[in-house]
Structure 1
Amino acid sequence: MSFAHAETPPPSGDMPTAKMLAASGTQVVGDQGEIPWSGVETDIRLVQLGRLFVSRAIEARIHKVLDATRRARTIYPEPRNVVVHGETGVGKTDIMKRYLAANPEYRRENGCIRRPVLYVDVRHSSTPKSVARSMLRSLGVEEGYCFGATAELTQRLKVQLVGQNVELVIMDEFHNTVTDNGAVKANRIAAWVKDLSKAKIRTGLLPDGQPEENIPFAMVGTERVLRIVEPTENPELASITPYDLAVDRYRYRTKAEIAEFRDFLDDLDQELPFDEFSDLGRAALADKLHIATFGLLRQVAVLITGAAELAILDGSDRIREPHLHDAMEDRHGLLQANLISAESQGSERRAVFNPFEKPILGTTSRRVRKSGHREAA
């Protein structure tokens, strides 16, 4: 399950194609072109659960900043780096992968690869040498050239970055380069990133080097990644890292925060492959959903898609509370593991428990078509 900004076009195949619907004997109907999901084959509806897109303002902001850093590299003498941070499960990786998908590599007429954005997962790389190896492999360099001294690998890496016209390097899970008490380690990786991003061949004719040699970095991770750009510890890297972007979970304390989470649930409800609204944003149900998920997108994805799958398989017209209850029970271990891994703040850490109850037998609930609106509560 993914959550993308509305301005980001979904990848090809994110909605059922005409061929898929025709194969199931379904036609798109309605003034807004709504899909009558009850007539779509079960397998197609289940696939759709993994391709949900919901607007988030933070994604648009991050993508805008990444675009700006790429433009700035050829305008200013030094690169402008970015830090994107937030606790585990808030959707940082999805945001970065969608940006990568919107800026794919391609081959030029001469056969050479042009790679506007390089994405590297460094969760298993904790030193400059191991990070350099990961980056060289991501650039398609033969394995034999991914070994050597740190300085040699770094020089080789810079040549490849410039040669493949890389305009931005996204380093995901970058907090893994910093240990809990590793000030020295943080200083070493900070110096390496600074040198790699701004190192140039300078001459009398080009005292500032070639603009293409400026390569900005987006360092993505949990709050620990901020140590790498701490001004008192690493002032040089901090001086070329003007962007600090936090991706937060959905909070639920103020009226504005509650309204934001409920609006998000309404938007998600609209995208689910059902003809009826599930009323996910209704006050009482939104309260329970936040209790169950802690406002983390990963938790919401696990729970809602699980409940939707149960509803589709039992022929329901929408998600009902028993589906949420059963999905919570089925996925309790995963939800708890995700929450434990999340870097929640102090007393906010807590165990997952199931707040959903099955309704009293014989009761019915209001049905709302997708063209309707949530009732005020």
Structure 2
Amino acid sequence: MDVLPDRAARAEFPVGERQLIMKKLIINHDRLKEARDAFARFHFPVVGGVADSGSISLVMGDSRTGKTFGAKSYLGGFPQRPGERGMIYPALLVEMPASGGYRAILENLADAMSIAHTLRMNNSVLTNNILRGLEFHEVELLIFDEVQDVCDIKNPRLASDFKRLMRKILNLEKASIVCIGLPETYGLLSSDKQLVGRGGLQYAFLHPYSWDSDEERKSFRLLCDQFDEGMPFLNKSSLGATATAERLHWVSQGIIGLLKNFLFIAGSLAINDGSIHVDTTHLAQAYDWIKPPQTSFNPFRDDWSKKPDTVVTTAPLTTHDPFAKRKRSAHAQ
């Protein structure tokens, strides 16, 4: 976690600064380490060796489990630098466009290397410029984020074009590719034998925290306590206490991003109240504001023994097994 002023000083900051502290709070949790270690393994298979090339790998997991943040954290160790011929980009993160088709993919990739392009430039010319740019700028690691959006079986032409582009990049034997995506991304890529043949499609799977073992419970409690430590209040809120952490786990489903969002809402309520810490009333109100419609149980207000078996959700939950068929959870409505 970034170094922050002491707790008493943070509690006296203007409310806007306290709000930003909660919004930007970064926790060095073990899932972040898992993500960084995965990118490092795909980038440098031999510790102290040279960067790999011509291989494709995958970092996958449910939404908000820290995949993209882990990539950005890892890339922080490989900043761009001037070279003899121009700027060197050792590693690049390129987000897949939500719309715009194949052309938008090419433009996002070109923009990442500051390669100029115009509407008059056709896709073939732009692709060749990108391939030359990857060599010119000495790119070793190319990370594509939200890959499931462009490999969707509902758009087979776009998926085919994107996979062909990746094969062209890998064929240069200059850079390796890491794809970031939801669990279904594995199936979308593994069905292409030509891609799998370029490195075997190693993968890392970032799981939400579980409450099913002592080790996972301790890890999640530590995570809650780390958030508590960084909050801008005079007193800590005992977020890492077993009873509170268990309820926070139930609400967030063990997903780091959801936990952070929830604590931001509760923390904002506490600041508005002039409270010296986040208390149960703030947690209860925060859950009232995010719980699905027609849901009555509130874990911070109601008898915990009467909780539903699972969090009621309005969206289907994805499996944590990359090889299993996706199933709609029985409790999803």
Q: Provide the secondary structure at the position in 1 that maps to 2:144.
A: strand
Q: How far apart are residue 348 of structure 1 and its match?
A: 6.4
CA displacement at 1:127 relative to structure 2: 5.5
Residues 164 and 229 from structure 1, CA distance in 2 versus in 1: closer, same or farther, beyond 3 angstroms? same
Structure 1 equivalent of residue 90 of structure 2 = 116
- 2:10 alignment partner in structure 1: 37
Q: Kindly provide the CA deviation profile for residues 120-169 of structure 1, in whole angstroms up to 9, marking residues without a partner as x.
A: 111425865542232112322223178413x4332211111111222211
TM superposition shift of 1:183: 6.7
Distance, in Å, in 2 between the alignment partners of 1:82 and 1:291 is: 32
Partners of 1:88 and 1:343 within 8 A in 2:
no
Question: What is residue 93 of structure 1 aligned with on the other side?
Answer: 68
Cα distance in 2 for residues equivalent to 1:146 and 1:327: 51
Taking a change above 3 Å as real, the CA distance of residues 159 and 291 of structure 1, as seen in their structure-2 partners, is same
Aligned AA for 2:57? V
User: Which stretches in structure 2 are left out of the alignment for 5+ residues?
Assistant: 296-312, 320-327
Q: How many Å separate the matches in 1 of 2:51 and 2:112?
A: 27
Structure 1 stretch 339-348 or stretch 233-242: which is displaced more? 339-348
- CA deviations on 1:160-192 (whole Å, 9 max, x unpaired) are 111122221111111111224567765553343
- The code of the aligned residue for 1:80 comes to S
Give the match for residue 35 of structure 2: 62
Which of 187, 191, 194 is the aligned partner of 1:236? Answer: 194
Per the alignment, residue 315 of structure 1 pairs with: 274
- Specify whether residues 226 and 275 from structure 1 end up closer, same or farther in structure 2 by C-alpha distance, changes over 3 A only: same
Q: 1:97 to 1:229 in 2, by over 3 A?
A: same
In 2, Cα distance between equivalents of 1:229 and 1:299: 27
Unaligned 5+ segments in structure 1 are 1-5, 17-27, 29-33, 200-212, 352-377
Aligned to 1:190: 163
Partner of 1:222: 182
- The residue matched to 2:58 in structure 1 has which SS? strand
Which of the residues 152, 163, 168 maps onto 1:179?
Answer: 152
* Percent identity of equivalent pairs: 18
- Structure 1 residue 216 displacement after superposition: 0.9
Q: Quick one: distance in 1 between partners of 2:45 and 2:13? A: 48
Scaled by the length of structure 1, the TM-score of the pair is 0.70
Please list the CA deviations of residues 59-96 of structure 1 after superposition, one character each: whole Å capped at 9, or x if unmatched: 22332343344446995884233201111122222222
Q: 1:144 to 1:181 in 2, by over 3 A?
A: closer
Per the alignment, in what secondary structure is the counterpart of residue 214 of structure 1? coil
User: Amino acid of the residue matched to residue 65 of structure 2?
Assistant: V
**Within 1, Cα distance between the matches of 2:189 and 2:169?**
15
User: Which of 16, 22, 36 is equivalent to 1:49?
Assistant: 22
Give TM-score, length-normalised by structure 2.
0.78
C-alpha distance in 2, partners of 1:136/1:320? 49
- Shift of the alpha carbon at 1:220? 0.4
Would you say 1:326 and 2:299 are equivalent positions? no
For residue 288 of structure 1, what is the aligned residue in structure 2? 247
Larger Rg computed on CA atoms:
1
Contact 1:251/1:258 (8 A) holds in 2: yes
Whether the aligned pair in 1 keeps the contact of 2:90 and 2:138 (CA below 8 Å) is yes
Aligned equivalent of 2:298: none
Instruction: For 1:42 and 1:77, locate their aligned partners in 2 and report how far apart those are by CA, in whole Å.
Output: 48
Amino acid at match of 1:320: D
**Cα separation, 2, equivalents of 1:142 and 1:342:** 41
Name the structure 1 match of 2:136: 163
Q: In the alignment, what sits opposite 1:278?
A: 237
2:329 matched to 1:347? yes
Using the alignment, how far apart are the partners of 2:200 and 2:231 within structure 1?
Answer: 39
- Given that 1:187 and 1:228 are in contact with CA atoms closer than 8 Å, whether structure 2 keeps it comes out as no
Q: Does the 8 Å contact 2:40/2:74 carry over to 1? A: no
User: How large is the Cα RMSD of the aligned pairs?
Assistant: 3.2
Structure 1 equivalent of residue 55 of structure 2: 80
